[in-house]
Structure 1
């Protein structure tokens, strides 16, 4: 379970070949990605990117790191003011109650920079009860993201994105939603090629 906010700002411009090299280096991290800034590559320097993510076990963070290595931009870790338990069943009970109550848990840290600086916001999360964790809904609704492009990505145990795109659209009705990316949590550390292919398909990488 992650216990600190990560916020980076790196925007150098490189090519897809550079991205491939960066992700190849990422793959040697023995399944655990470093928390230090990685070499970032921005497909379009005029497009300001934020990668905001919630990760409980570390799988979603792994994918967030891969996206950051490929497109650059800033990173922000979404954290609950009351941390989720590290024990699985306790987390499941709390997450289910939040989902059933349609709760909006408080954020541990407010976003430290003016959100208007960003054009595209990647939103990462584990699939809990076929949708986003409710703490992610708190983050989305705090800003609304009117006129922004939202790019969801999730880790899951078998349900893919499930209902999360619909629910993100309900939380941010004036945002544009891009088709998201999903990977099984057990495969997150080996998802580099799939991440790159998705980013290229959605025009976040130069060819």
Structure 2
């Protein structure tokens, strides 16, 4: 199914998506030859002062459909700091069924797909807002690559997830197991269908993470 067919059959896709616990929405594929995504720094005065009680903040996210991206951007708007997308070096297909199958294969194999995301000075960050969609009950494997690459031990990590009906499942427990030594806040979990209209829920959660 191509992108146009996907949009026409959105109702069917949403049902399939809920069954397989993956996010829904428009897909924003990274080009295979695109340069490595750069960390975007906030230009607001509050962010320049590092906000969150003087702590340096990074919002890092993986998004296939655009839902997790929307949540990440709203979080960044509220907390300031810097933001970066976790982008696989080889983009996932725009075809839903192909990406579903590949995600399952990668998870079963414990794969660590290469990512093009580069962060020059990860050590400077005190607080990491880390987000991704629920894929087959857990994290997409590019996120595992990111966690293995950028160690979070000793950092405050505020996790946020999107899902297509499966809820949080192992997203949090697998993250805790992989990012050992991190200090986790309560997580935020939003359905993909409501992700782009959850400013109030995000605000309430952000306040909790700043305590």
Q: TM exceeds 0.5?
A: yes
CA-CA distance at 1:42 after TM superposition: 6.0
Alignment partner of 2:159 out of 152, 155, 165? 152
Bigger drift between 131-140 and 101-110 goes to 101-110
Structure 1: state its 5+ residue gaps: 15-39
How many residues align? The count is 178
Structure 2: state its 5+ residue gaps: 1-27
Which residue is equivalent to 2:77?
69
Matches for 1:130-149 after TM superposition, within 5 Å: 130-149=137-156
Calculate the TM-score normalised by the size of structure 1.
0.80
Q: Deviations over 1:5-38 (max 9, x none)?
A: 3521125229xxxxxxxxxxxxxxxxxxxxxxxx
Alignment partner of 1:117 out of 124, 128, 149? 124
Alignment partner of 2:41 out of 2, 5, 9? 9
CA-CA distance at 1:104 after TM superposition: 0.7
Matches for 1:1-207 after TM superposition, within 5 Å: 1-3=28-30, 5=37, 7-10=39-42, 12-13=45-46, 43-44=51-52, 46-111=54-119, 113-203=120-210
State whether residues 2 and 58 of structure 1, in contact with CA within 8 Å, keep that contact through their aligned partners in structure 2: no
Calculate the TM-score normalised by the size of structure 2.
0.79
- Distance in 1 separating the partners of 2:40 and 2:140: 23
- Distance in 1 separating the partners of 2:160 and 2:136: 16
CA-CA distance at 1:95 after TM superposition: 0.2
